[in-house]
Structure 1
Amino acid sequence: MTKTILTSRAAAVGGRDGKVSSDDNVINLDLVMPGTKGKEDIPTSNPEQLFAAGYAACFDGAYNLMARQAKKRVETRTNSEVSLLQDEADNGVKIAAKLVVEVVGVSQEEAEELLEKAHGFCPYSKATRGNIDVDLSVKVVDALSE
Structure 2
Amino acid sequence: MATNEKKNLYTADATAVGGRSGHVRSATGVIDMDMSVPEGLGGKKGATNPEELFAAGYASCFQQALLVIAQRAGDKLDPQTEVKCSVTLFQEGEGYGLSAVLDVDLKSFDQQKTMDMVRQAHKICPYSVGTRGNMQVDLRVKGETLPVEAEDNAGVAAKG
Is the 1:58–1:124 contact (alpha carbons within 8 Å) kept by the matching residues of 2?
yes
Structure 1: give runs of 5+ residues left out of the alignment: 141-146
Task: Tell me the distance in 1 between the aligned counterparts of 2:65 and 2:140.
Answer: 15
Q: TM-score, normalised by structure 1?
A: 0.86
Q: Which has the higher helix share?
A: 2
1:28 matches 2:56: no
The count of corresponding residues between Structure 1 and Structure 2 is 135
Q: TM-score, normalised by structure 2?
A: 0.79
Residue by residue over 1:113-139, the C-alpha shift from the partner in whole angstroms, topping out at 9 and shown as x without a partner, is: 000000000000000001001010113
1:77 matches 2:82: yes
> After the TM superposition, which parts of structure 1 deviate over 3 Å for at least 4 consecutive aligned residues?
none
Q: CA RMSD in A?
A: 1.6
* % identical aligned pairs: 41
1:52 matches 2:52: no
Task: Tell me the distance in 1 between the aligned counterparts of 2:47 and 2:124.
Answer: 31
Of the structure 1 ranges 98-107 and 46-55, higher mean CA displacement relative to structure 2 is found in 98-107
CA displacement at 1:2 relative to structure 2: 2.5
- Bigger RCO (CA 8 Å, 6+ sep): 1
Structure 2: give runs of 5+ residues left out of the alignment: 144-160
1:18 is matched with 22
- 3-state SS of 2:28 partner: coil
1:131 is matched with 134
